[in-house]
Amino acid sequence: QKSVQDVAPLLSKLAVLKLNGGLGTTMGCVGPKSAIEVRDSQTFLDLTVQQIEYLNQVSGADVPLILMNSFNTDEDTSKIVQKYSTHNVSICTFNQSRYPRFKTDSNLPLAQTPENKPNMWYPPGHGDLYESFANSGLLDQLIDEGKEWVFVSNVDNLGATVDPVILQHMADTGAEFVMEVTDKTKADIKGGTIIDYDGQVRLLEIAQVPKAHVDDFKRVKKFKIFNTNNLWISIKAIKRLVASQKFDLDLIVNNKTTDDGTAVIQLETAVGAAIKHFAGAHGVNVPRSRFLPVKSTSDLFLVTSDLYLLENGELRLNPKRTFKTVPVVKLGDHFKKVNDYLARFKTPPQILELDHLTVTGDVSFSSDVTLEGTVIIVANHGAHIDIPRGAILNDKVVSGDLRLLDH
């Protein structure tokens, strides 16, 4: 184990970059996903700033935070970051590219003019980072400031904190690219994986797998690890590869339908696919705790619970939990949007002893509810279930119709 103080000289050569191009639409939120409140009224961005501020305070280094925005998130993010102006962290932003969508039937671009009209354009995936980073001028600025590495991760991965051990590993090995991978579970069947392709390390994403082999790809026994998208990359190597136009990332064809029903194609690339271009590139198997994404309200349920403790912007698994694995949580469509989810829980339930939770239908939870073991709650169509205040559900199946009035 290494402490932050142990690697203080290396931290002065590090920058942290968060991929901040996504919107919170899948969780029913307006604006950048990074502005969603995830814990104690704090957003993804708040927690990230806290982490880096603490890192700088303890180490005496000046690790900057860089946000790669998309045209969807840039305006809102620019306003939000102003509130951190008094914090001990320098924040820079740049925009990734925008590409025109193509009509599926004609392969012609949907946009007729360069104006940014709704549905016409899209951010082309995070593989665009390398070119956009260089074009923004920030890459050269970091090199001039003596920075050597950039730690890249998704802004919604609450487990992606600066790890002194991996930073030391980058310095010791001289590798230009390290991808953090972790053991695959049934919950991660869609995650990309590292493969050996003609003697070369490559990233294989599910979108690149022929339909006939998708089931093979999803098997945990076949591919035991997946890419967390936590990446440690040499800044000078990015500069070299962009300058020599060496980046040739595998294209992912994404078929979409616009609001008016037009079938369109988006051509996207993944930032991890560049692993094949960097010298000494390899994967490092990390604990599951470094992959804590919030993609749904089921994930939000976990990170807001007593399962995690919050320290200096970092979530840690509560030592009072007997098992070091995280419960499987499946919340139904009634919980899909953040506002609906919040309205259905008076307070977050206590889940230190929970293994599995499934909730479907019109269900609400009063305060101080404890869930243990396997709990399944099903309100059939037209029915409503209220879980009463102070209830303890241990290995229970609840179904039917149950209404309670607090007085």
Residue with tokens 């690890």: 225
The length of the chain is 407
Task: Determine how many CB atoms are found less than 10 A away from the CB of residue 58.
Answer: 14
Catalytic entry in 295, 330, 337, 396: 295
Asked whether the CA dihedral 80, 311, 164, 195 is positive or negative, the reply is negative
**Catalytic (active site) residue 276:** no
Q: Which two tokens stand for residue 137?
A: 């001028």
Structural contact between residues 326 and 288, judged by C-beta atoms closer than 8 angstroms: yes
Residue with tokens 């790890």: 163
By annotation, the residues acting in catalysis are 295
